[in-house]
Amino acid sequence: MHINEERLWNRINELGEIGRSENGGLNRFSFTDEERQAKELIKKYMAEAGLSVREDEIGNVFGKMDGKNPNGKTVLIGSHIDTVLNGGKFDGAVGVLSGIEVLQTLNEKGITTENPLEVVAFTDEEGARFSTGLLGSEAYIGDLTYNDLADNTDNNGISIAEAMINQGYDPTNLASVKADANSIKCYLEVHIEQGKVLESKNVPVGLVTGIAGLRWLKIKINGEAGHAGTTPMALRKDPLAAAVEIIHRVEQLAKEQEQTVMTVGQFIVNPGGINVIPSNVEFTIDIRDLSEALLDQLVTQINNMTHNICAKREVTLEVENLHSVSGVDCSAEVYQSIQTTIEDKGIEVVKLPSGAIHDAMVIGKITDIGMIFLRTKDGISHTSEEWCEKEDVSMGAQVLLGSVIKLAANSFVQHG
């Protein structure tokens, strides 16, 4: 059974015109007219696919196909259709449109699965407007409060709640958005890899092992400012020299692990004069891995290592834990169904973790999840340059179709 490659590709391109900016990229921020237009187009596609369409009070759009078994748990497929500033047309959109394509294909072939199937486009995954993200999926699992909507504002001081009211939603009615976890069998998401692993392995699709958790640290080192010409090397307390040593160790520490990635993405030097030994420096470390235990262990190691280096150099140190997110493993049954489908197509199974956060991570708190990654040209995303080949998009949907058929063949809601 084959999905309709042309239809899927045409929809990616049609949706990929909504919110196009002068820079060539897409601006589809949450609760804007561009996002509304995109949602209406998604609803039209869902209707064409023969699905029953609904939108909830946070703006998640659903298209459902009944199963043979009225008590069957739903196999949910989704992603998002909002974008970052000047974003690409594949990130998120490809997951939603692949889901619709799979259900439309089944409908056209006259196939009704045992379990119900549902596609969802979650609201505000990227968080580009309100610096939040994952709003739709968090509301769906009941993890979002009215205060979250009232407290976060965009650059114009408009809160999420106000923006919602302006678009006709009721921000006080989050209770109606929360899903009955017991009615969902699993959640599948097709997404662009946003990295170079699949490209380097020369495969169109990849099997995601899990979504990495993260730790963000902020490190501040205080030394002693001084004249660059008159302070002998032996008498210096240079915080930048200490930081460089630490950052070098951070890189080594990451490389010693199997899959851990660590990044220093922000760095401030004060006062920042060409002829002044710095008085203090501040930098961040982003640490990601699938294993929570390893993440905690690495944070402890970094703490010890930075303390030792700073003590040796007679500079003082402050370490702040900025942010912590738990990772989620993909579930065995979903994982297996994707793996078998990829193998059946004669494609080498490349297993990789997701270093980026996705709606699947949130949904993973209430049900089994699985993800299929698509080869991404040069690993580039979040720009207008973002690109997936048509055949790869098609293969992703084809693997999704095979996985969904396997997963939707059984399982019942437990009553009483």
Footprint of Zn ion on this chain (CB under 5 A)? Answer: 91-92
Minimal distance, residue 80 CB to Zn ion, in Å = 6
Longest dimension (CA), the chain: 84
Q: Report which DSSP code applies to 330.
A: P
Minimal distance, residue 83 CB to Zn ion, in Å = 9
For residues 82 and 124, the answer to whether their CB atoms sit within 8 Å is: yes
For residues 251 and 293, the answer to whether their CB atoms sit within 8 Å is: no
Minimal distance, residue 369 CB to Zn ion, in Å = 15
Q: Report which DSSP code applies to 331.
A: P
Q: Which is nearer to Zn ion, 92 or 278 (CB)?
A: 92
Q: Which is nearer to Zn ion, 91 or 101 (CB)?
A: 91
Q: Which is nearer to Zn ion, 58 or 128 (CB)?
A: 128
Q: Is 76 left (phi over 0), alpha (psi -120 to 50) or beta?
A: beta
Handedness of CA 368, 215, 28, 373 (dihedral sign): negative
* Residue 356, token pair as written in the block: 């980026």
Cα–Cα distance for residue pair 315/306, rounded to 1 Å: 11
Minimal distance, residue 85 CB to Zn ion, in Å = 14
Q: Which is nearer to Zn ion, 25 or 92 (CB)?
A: 92
Q: Which is nearer to Zn ion, 91 or 124 (CB)?
A: 91
- The dihedral formed by the CA atoms of 154, 157, 160 and 164, expressed in degrees to the nearest 10: -110
Minimal distance, residue 122 CB to Zn ion, in Å = 10
CA distances from 94 to 42, 369, 381 (A): 12, 17, 13
Q: Which is nearer to Zn ion, 83 or 394 (CB)?
A: 83
Cα–Cα distance for residue pair 169/335, rounded to 1 Å: 36
* Residue 171, token pair as written in the block: 């921000």
Q: Which is nearer to Zn ion, 138 or 282 (CB)?
A: 138
Cα–Cα distance for residue pair 98/95, rounded to 1 Å: 5
Q: Report which DSSP code applies to 259.
A: S
Helix 93-108 / helix 33-48 crossing angle, nearest 10 deg: 20
CA–CA–CA angle 154, 86, 77 (5° rounding): 85
Minimal distance, residue 190 CB to Zn ion, in Å = 11
Minimal distance, residue 382 CB to Zn ion, in Å = 9
- Name residue, tokens 């946070």: 58
- Closest CA relative to residue 178, chosen from 60, 22, 355: 60
For residues 91 and 102, the answer to whether their CB atoms sit within 8 Å is: no
- Return the half-sphere exposure (C-beta side, CA atoms, 13 A cut-off) of residue 415: 3
DSSP 108-141: HTT---SS-EEEEEES-SS-TTTS---HHHHHHT
Q: Which is nearer to Zn ion, 92 or 116 (CB)?
A: 92
Q: Which is nearer to Zn ion, 91 or 138 (CB)?
A: 91
For residues 410 and 115, the answer to whether their CB atoms sit within 8 Å is: yes
Minimal distance, residue 129 CB to Zn ion, in Å = 15
Q: Which is nearer to Zn ion, 116 or 133 (CB)?
A: 133
Q: Which is nearer to Zn ion, 63 or 88 (CB)?
A: 88
Minimal distance, residue 91 CB to Zn ion, in Å = 4
Minimal distance, residue 416 CB to Zn ion, in Å = 39
Minimal distance, residue 89 CB to Zn ion, in Å = 12
